[in-house]
Structure 1
Amino acid sequence: MWGGAAILLALPALAMQFTREVTWGPGDFLVFGAMLLAACSACEVAVRLFKNRPSRLLAIAAVGLAFALVWAELAVGIFD
Protein backbone atom coordinates (compact mmCIF):
# COMPACT_ATOMS: atom_id res chain seq x y z
CA MET A 1 0.00 0.00 0.00
CA TRP A 2 2.79 2.43 0.89
CA GLY A 3 4.59 1.69 -2.36
CA GLY A 4 1.40 2.47 -4.26
CA ALA A 5 1.12 5.76 -2.41
CA ALA A 6 4.70 6.62 -3.36
CA ILE A 7 3.96 5.84 -7.01
CA LEU A 8 0.81 8.01 -6.89
CA LEU A 9 2.85 10.87 -5.45
CA ALA A 10 5.46 10.49 -8.20
CA LEU A 11 2.97 10.41 -11.09
CA PRO A 12 2.34 14.19 -11.25
CA ALA A 13 6.10 14.84 -11.21
CA LEU A 14 6.50 12.41 -14.09
CA ALA A 15 3.56 13.94 -15.97
CA MET A 16 5.08 17.41 -15.60
CA GLN A 17 8.07 16.20 -17.63
CA PHE A 18 5.88 15.42 -20.64
CA THR A 19 3.07 17.98 -20.63
CA ARG A 20 2.44 21.55 -19.57
CA GLU A 21 -1.11 20.72 -18.46
CA VAL A 22 0.16 19.38 -15.13
CA THR A 23 1.65 22.22 -13.12
CA TRP A 24 2.12 21.26 -9.49
CA GLY A 25 4.15 23.29 -7.07
CA PRO A 26 5.86 22.17 -3.87
CA GLY A 27 2.73 22.96 -1.85
CA ASP A 28 0.63 20.69 -4.05
CA PHE A 29 3.01 17.78 -3.51
CA LEU A 30 3.08 18.48 0.22
CA VAL A 31 -0.72 18.48 0.53
CA PHE A 32 -1.11 15.37 -1.62
CA GLY A 33 1.61 13.61 0.37
CA ALA A 34 -0.13 14.51 3.63
CA MET A 35 -3.43 13.23 2.24
CA LEU A 36 -1.82 9.96 1.18
CA LEU A 37 -0.13 9.60 4.56
CA ALA A 38 -3.43 10.12 6.38
CA ALA A 39 -5.35 7.75 4.10
CA CYS A 40 -2.77 4.95 4.25
CA SER A 41 -2.45 5.31 8.01
CA ALA A 42 -6.23 5.17 8.42
CA CYS A 43 -6.39 2.04 6.25
CA GLU A 44 -3.71 0.37 8.36
CA VAL A 45 -5.59 1.25 11.54
CA ALA A 46 -8.79 -0.15 10.03
CA VAL A 47 -7.10 -3.42 9.10
CA ARG A 48 -5.68 -3.81 12.60
CA LEU A 49 -8.82 -2.67 14.41
CA PHE A 50 -11.50 -4.66 12.57
CA LYS A 51 -11.22 -8.43 12.52
CA ASN A 52 -13.90 -9.43 10.03
CA ARG A 53 -13.62 -8.76 6.32
CA PRO A 54 -16.88 -6.78 5.75
CA SER A 55 -16.01 -4.31 8.51
CA ARG A 56 -12.52 -3.83 7.10
CA LEU A 57 -13.84 -3.27 3.59
CA LEU A 58 -16.44 -0.79 4.83
CA ALA A 59 -13.82 1.16 6.80
CA ILE A 60 -11.41 1.21 3.85
CA ALA A 61 -14.23 2.32 1.53
CA ALA A 62 -15.07 5.15 3.96
CA VAL A 63 -11.41 6.23 3.97
CA GLY A 64 -11.35 6.12 0.16
CA LEU A 65 -14.54 8.16 -0.10
CA ALA A 66 -13.24 10.76 2.34
CA PHE A 67 -9.97 10.95 0.38
CA ALA A 68 -11.81 11.43 -2.91
CA LEU A 69 -14.11 14.11 -1.47
CA VAL A 70 -11.23 16.11 -0.01
CA TRP A 71 -9.28 15.78 -3.25
CA ALA A 72 -12.24 16.95 -5.32
CA GLU A 73 -12.91 19.85 -2.97
CA LEU A 74 -9.30 21.01 -3.18
CA ALA A 75 -9.24 20.59 -6.96
CA VAL A 76 -12.50 22.23 -8.02
CA GLY A 77 -14.47 23.22 -4.92
CA ILE A 78 -17.49 20.90 -5.14
CA PHE A 79 -18.99 22.12 -1.85
CA ASP A 80 -19.13 25.82 -2.71
Structure 2
Amino acid sequence: KYYKTWQRSKQDSEEEQNRIENIAEMLCWNKIYEKEDTVIWQKKANSNACHNKNGRASKMCNVQDADDIWYVLCL
Protein backbone atom coordinates (compact mmCIF):
# COMPACT_ATOMS: atom_id res chain seq x y z
CA LYS A 1 0.00 0.00 0.00
CA TYR A 2 2.22 2.78 1.26
CA TYR A 3 5.51 0.91 1.09
CA LYS A 4 6.74 3.32 -1.61
CA THR A 5 6.39 6.28 0.75
CA TRP A 6 8.68 4.54 3.25
CA GLN A 7 11.16 3.61 0.50
CA ARG A 8 10.80 -0.09 1.22
CA SER A 9 10.06 -3.06 -0.95
CA LYS A 10 6.53 -4.38 -0.98
CA GLN A 11 7.85 -7.74 0.26
CA ASP A 12 9.62 -6.10 3.21
CA SER A 13 6.46 -4.24 4.16
CA GLU A 14 4.35 -7.41 3.92
CA GLU A 15 6.85 -9.39 6.02
CA GLU A 16 6.74 -6.74 8.73
CA GLN A 17 2.93 -6.77 8.66
CA ASN A 18 2.97 -10.56 9.06
CA ARG A 19 5.27 -10.27 12.10
CA ILE A 20 2.96 -7.67 13.64
CA GLU A 21 -0.08 -9.88 13.06
CA ASN A 22 1.67 -12.92 14.56
CA ILE A 23 2.57 -10.99 17.71
CA ALA A 24 -0.96 -9.59 17.93
CA GLU A 25 -2.32 -13.14 17.70
CA MET A 26 0.00 -14.28 20.49
CA LEU A 27 -1.32 -11.38 22.58
CA CYS A 28 -4.89 -12.54 21.82
CA TRP A 29 -5.78 -9.35 19.97
CA ASN A 30 -8.37 -9.33 17.19
CA LYS A 31 -8.05 -7.11 14.16
CA ILE A 32 -11.42 -5.38 14.07
CA TYR A 33 -10.77 -2.73 11.42
CA GLU A 34 -8.33 -2.22 8.57
CA LYS A 35 -8.37 0.45 5.91
CA GLU A 36 -5.29 1.42 3.91
CA ASP A 37 -2.53 1.96 6.49
CA THR A 38 -4.80 2.13 9.56
CA VAL A 39 -5.52 -0.93 11.71
CA ILE A 40 -7.49 -1.13 14.95
CA TRP A 41 -6.84 -4.04 17.30
CA GLN A 42 -9.03 -5.17 20.19
CA LYS A 43 -7.83 -7.11 23.20
CA LYS A 44 -9.95 -10.17 24.00
CA ALA A 45 -11.90 -9.95 27.24
CA ASN A 46 -10.50 -13.25 28.52
CA SER A 47 -6.82 -13.60 27.66
CA ASN A 48 -6.62 -16.77 29.80
CA ALA A 49 -8.57 -18.63 27.12
CA CYS A 50 -6.23 -17.53 24.36
CA HIS A 51 -4.59 -20.16 22.19
CA ASN A 52 -2.12 -19.63 19.40
CA LYS A 53 -2.12 -21.39 16.01
CA ASN A 54 -0.57 -24.52 17.54
CA GLY A 55 -3.40 -24.84 20.06
CA ARG A 56 -1.21 -23.91 23.01
CA ALA A 57 -2.09 -21.09 25.34
CA SER A 58 0.22 -18.09 25.15
CA LYS A 59 2.05 -17.54 28.41
CA MET A 60 1.39 -14.10 29.86
CA CYS A 61 3.50 -12.61 32.63
CA ASN A 62 1.68 -11.64 35.81
CA VAL A 63 0.36 -8.08 35.97
CA GLN A 64 -1.11 -6.15 38.87
CA ASP A 65 -3.91 -4.49 36.90
CA ALA A 66 -6.10 -6.95 34.96
CA ASP A 67 -7.36 -4.10 32.76
CA ASP A 68 -3.87 -2.99 31.76
CA ILE A 69 -3.68 -3.05 27.96
CA TRP A 70 0.06 -3.64 27.93
CA TYR A 71 0.19 -7.30 28.96
CA VAL A 72 3.70 -8.65 28.71
CA LEU A 73 4.06 -11.78 26.62
CA CYS A 74 6.57 -14.18 28.15
CA LEU A 75 8.43 -15.86 25.31
Higher helix proportion: 1
The TM-score, its normalising length taken from structure 1, stands at 0.37
Q: Comparing both structures, which one devotes a greater share of its residues to strand?
A: 2
TM-score with structure 2 length normalisation? Answer: 0.38
